[in-house]
Amino acid sequence: MWQSKNATKRKEAQPLYHEGTQKGWLLKVLPETKPIVITVGHLTSTRSCLDITKKCLRGNKMPEPLRIAHRCAGEEKKKRGKRGGT
């Protein structure tokens, strides 16, 4: 069972637990949005994944690398749609 308290303030992070072990964070990025889930990756700790994510925020809900990838994927999807999906 996943458990965490709700983050309420901008850039406030709450630990995210699974079966009693911290697995990541819930980070409130913007006041009017739901928090994002941050979990560890290869060779990162729970603390470093939060620090890295906070450094990648540029005023949007999504961290900058994810926002750029999302935008590029959307552009490619539009191109492929115009060419018949190939």
pLDDT digits (tens, 9 = 90+) for 42-54: 999 999 999 999 9
| Nearest residue to 5 via CA among 30, 29, 32, 27 | 27
Q: Say yes or no to pLDDT of 85 above 60.
A: no
**Mean per-residue pLDDT, 25-50:** 90
